[in-house]
Amino acid sequence: LAVVAPAGADGYGLPAGTGTVEIQLFTDLSCPYCRMLEEATGDVLSEAVAAGTATLTIHPLNFVSAKHGDDTAWSTRAANALAAALDAGQGDRIPAFYALLQENQTTTDGTTHPSDADILALAQQAGITADLSDAVASQRFGAWVQASNDHWLGSTIAGTEKVVSGVPVLVIGGKVIALDGEATDVAQRVQAAIADAQG
């Protein structure tokens, strides 16, 4: 399959915002820990993007679907939809869309499998006005999501010593953020790192 990158992609990244603080998030849309991180820090990150302080770049991986025995390839399908939003020129909606996709991820017990129609409904809920139906149905950026996964797994993130061996990984202003501890601690760490990177 030919790898088609979405217009506006930054390497294997989906950028939102134009702020000077660089936030990189390595994530999988089937990963329960990524979902917990989004619940803890999503508002902080999206506010920094909306305020023009930060650029959030999401690097999608898709290995968790298979690990969970999910035969609907949710990780790929959801990240493909995020890529489609960027490709349609609606990168500013990516943080909101990402949050909804995480919130509605396929459950580990395999009981809920969001359909393509569900993905499109979530896109609308996130304020995306472009028609993503073709890109979602054809998984236009599915091969790109796989390529992103293959590129990052086992790679060291530039400017850090962090090897991507799992997800989530959050890097703010070139510093890898510790994601252990209570949600409030993590949110405060993220807030402090953004302030720090602003100088």
Q: 41-62 pLDDT, tens per residue? A: 999 999 999 999 999 999 999 9
pTM: 0.96
E runs forming strands in the chain = 14-16, 21-28, 54-61, 169-172, 175-176
**Residue 173: its pLDDT value, please?**
97
Residues of the chain with pLDDT under 50: none
**pLDDT tens-place string over residues 144-162:** 999 999 999 999 999 999 9
Q: Which two tokens stand for residue 43?
A: 């508002």
Specify the 3-state DSSP secondary structure of 175.
strand
Closest CA to 149 of 3, 32, 21, 35: 3
**Residue 109: its pLDDT value, please?**
65
Specify the 3-state DSSP secondary structure of 165.
coil
Give the whole-angstrom CA distance, residue 54 versus residue 3. 28
58 CB-contact burial (10 Å; exposed 0-12 / middle 13-18 / buried 19+): buried
